């Protein structure tokens, strides 16, 4: 218990946060002195201590929130300090411009000079604070106070080489807790023999037992399906995956790698969406859902009444679906099938399905049966854009056929998505599911608010054309 507290206490994010609090405070004191005490700027304001303290608290909240939105509280220790400095400068100039135009009301005759001073002092203070935060991390890791529990998997020679580098490079902070080999150990080696915990088939059990923070992959050649299965497993366990790419991939530019600790590594983190993107995506989901539900309320009530008149059964149909991280929730739709549609058990909907009611055909063709899902979006169970949520029975079935299927559960499911605007078939085949996964993974790996907007606009056109299944 004590060890986990120390680990969180000395995490890069906490140290970066503390450094930023000190840096912003020092920056504010310097700027306050320059503005009101230095004599460089005309000022007749008689201020009290509260006049000094209140803006400081407001600025601390403002800058820490902005830094969080722009991704400055991920683990920057493993990235280039130059990347961190450029991100600090970008965040500082954006934040300073916002203050200058919307908050910073000043009667000075030199607002441009004040703007430059504000930006320069803040940027310098935060960059300096981040430098000291790095030095603190290096010392803590070198002394073993902070350690990152890691499992190394891969080919024998590659694993041995990486393990030896970890032993030499104390400042990385890695502690190898286990080794899992793709092949046989070629010779008895004390460095890793005691760490070997079996082959790749025992990986899940090893992760469950040792609970590593990261998994490092170093192999001569890795089977793509095996790699996807490992990544999916680590996503579910909250383990960061780092892969040393094949030299051919680097040479041909087929992969983008980060220089982590001076070694080219591909990092695959369970956190797929940046905090600021997640924040604005959620704000947009709430605003858009409220607009649709309120603006179209008379139409939605009319649709519900027609559903009731068209066939026996409730207005709304609810069904359990699997959401983010495998959490189940109840999804809502306008009922488009007969009341006892699944009396023979769960079935995949087919083209021309006899269970669909007369009015249900229109609802499904126009996708209007999905409108009640805006309530799911308001509660956060769904998003407007994302992979479609599937039923538990089908998730289990597809996972048994395609082990990396569960990676699509790493993000919040959506009302519409990249596959929905591109599909041409509804067949329940392994090939078709793999094609859907390609589209889902494309969205997950290339997420942006711009892509979300494109999918929404394309979906609206498809609804108008009547693109849905009947």
Please give the CATH topology (third level) of the domain spanning 148-268.
Answer: Rossmann fold (3.40.50)
Q: Determine the Cα–Cα distance for residues 330 and 469; give it in Å rounded to an integer.
A: 22
User: Does residue 177 sit in helix, strand or coil?
Assistant: strand
Residue listed under structure tokens 């030299």:
247
Residue 433's pLDDT is: 76
How far apart CA 27 and CA 7 sit, in angstroms, is 29
Give dist(CA 120, CA 129) in Å, integer: 14
Q: Please identify every stretch of the chain with a pLDDT value under 50, giving residue numbers as ranges.
A: 1-7, 106-107, 247-255
Can you give the C-alpha Rg of the chain in angstroms?
27
Q: What's the CA gap between 183 and 185, in Å, rounded? A: 7
* Residue 336 and residue 360 in contact, taking contact as beta carbons nearer than 8 Å: yes
Q: How far apart are CA 83 and CA 269, in angstroms?
A: 18
What is the rounded CA–CA span in Å between residue 260 and residue 74? 14
Consecutive H or E run containing 231:
helix 224-237
The tokens 């120390």 sit on which residue? 6
> Distance between CA atoms of 184 and 437, rounded to whole angstroms?
33
Q: Write the burial class of residue 265 (CB in 10 Å: 0-12 exposed, 13-18 middle, 19+ buried).
A: buried
* 6, 175, 217, 233, 258 from 246: Cα distances, Å: 36, 24, 11, 22, 14
Which phi and psi angles does 18 have, rounded to 5°?
-60, -45
SS3 352: coil
Report the distance separating Cα 466 and Cα 165, nearest Å: 59
Q: What is the pLDDT of residue 254?
A: 43
Residue written as tokens 């942006």? Answer: 448
Q: Would residue 263 be called left, alpha or beta, if left means φ above 0 and alpha means ψ between -120 and 50 degrees?
A: beta
Q: Hey, is 208 helix, strand or coil? A: helix
**Structure tokens that stand for 73 in this block:** 């509280």
Task: Classify each residue of 86-111 as buried b or exposed e, where b means 16 or more C-beta atoms within 10 Å of its C-beta.
Answer: ebbeebbeebbeebbeeeeeeeeeee
Which residues have CB under 8 Å from 406's CB, separation 6+?
232, 235, 236, 326, 395, 399
Three state DSSP letters for 43-83: CCCCCCHHHHHHHHHHHHHHHHHHHHHCCCCCCHHHCCHHH
Residue 64, pLDDT score: 94
**319, 331 in Cβ contact below 8 A?**
yes
Measured CA to CA, the distance from residue 180 to residue 166 in angstroms comes to: 16
Interval 185-211: pLDDT, tens: 666 666 677 787 777 888 888 999 898
Burial (0-12, 13-18, 19+ Cβ within 10 Å), 351: exposed
Whose tokens are 């310097």? That residue is 30
User: What pLDDT score does 126 carry?
Assistant: 94
Domain boundaries, the chain: 2-142, 148-268, 275-465
Q: What are 384's two structure tokens?
A: 């407007």
Distance of alpha carbon 227 from alpha carbon 154, whole angstroms: 11
Q: State the Cα–Cα distance between residues 159 and 182, nearest whole angstrom.
A: 10
């Amino acid at each position: 218990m004590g060890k986990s507290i120390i680990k969180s206490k000395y995490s890069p994010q906490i140290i970066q946060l503390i450094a930023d609090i000190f840096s912003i405070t020092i920056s504010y004191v310097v700027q306050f002195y320059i503005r009101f005490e230095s004599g460089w700027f005309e000022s007749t304001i008689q201020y009290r201590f509260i006049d000094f303290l209140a803006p400081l608290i407001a600025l601390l909240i403002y800058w820490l929130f902005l830094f969080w939105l722009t991704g400055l509280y991920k683990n920057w220790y493993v990235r280039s300090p130059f990347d961190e400095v450029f991100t600090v400068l970008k965040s500082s100039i954006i934040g300073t411009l916002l203050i200058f135009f919307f908050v910073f009301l000043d009667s000075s005759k030199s607002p441009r000079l004040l703007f430059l001073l504000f930006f320069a002092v803040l940027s310098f203070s935060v960059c300096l604070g981040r430098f000291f935060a790095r030095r603190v991390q290096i010392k803590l890791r070198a002394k073993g106070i902070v350690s990152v529990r890691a499992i190394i998997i891969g080919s024998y020679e590659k694993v041995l080489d990486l393990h030896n580098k970890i032993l030499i490079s104390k400042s990385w902070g890695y502690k190898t807790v286990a080794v899992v080999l793709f092949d046989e150990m070629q010779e008895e080696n004390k460095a890793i023999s005691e760490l070997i915990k079996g082959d790749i088939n025992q990986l899940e059990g090893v992760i469950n037992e040792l609970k590593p923070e990261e998994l490092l992959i170093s192999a001569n050649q890795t089977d793509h399906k095996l790699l996807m299965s490992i990544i999916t497993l680590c996503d579910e366990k909250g383990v960061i995956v780092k892969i040393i790419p094949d030299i051919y991939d680097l040479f041909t530019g087929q992969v983008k790698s980060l220089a982590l600790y001076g070694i080219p590594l591909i990092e695959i983190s369970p956190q797929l969406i940046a905090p600021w993107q997640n924040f604005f995506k959620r704000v947009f989901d709430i605003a858009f859902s409220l607009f649709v539900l309120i603006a179209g309320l008379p139409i939605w009530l009319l649709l519900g009444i027609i559903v009731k008149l068209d066939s026996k059964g409730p207005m709304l149909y609810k069904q359990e679906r699997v959401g983010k991280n495998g959490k189940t929730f109840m999804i809502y739709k306008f009922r488009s099938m007969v009341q006892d549609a699944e009396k023979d058990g769960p079935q995949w909907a087919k083209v021309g399905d006899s269970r669909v009611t007369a009015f249900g055909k229109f609802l499904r063709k126009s996708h209007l049966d999905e409108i009640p899902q805006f309530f799911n979006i308001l509660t956060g169970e769904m998003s407007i854009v994302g992979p479609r949520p599937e039923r538990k029975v089908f998730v289990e079935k597809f996972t048994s056929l395609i082990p990396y299927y569960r990676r699509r559960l790493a993000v919040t499911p959506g009302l519409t998505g990249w596959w929905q605007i591109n599909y041409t078939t509804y067949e329940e085949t392994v090939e078709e599911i793999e094609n859907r996964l390609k589209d889902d993974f494309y969205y997950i790996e290339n997420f942006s608010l711009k892509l979300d907007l494109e999918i929404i606009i394309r979906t609206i056109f498809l609804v108008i054309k009547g693109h849905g299944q009947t």
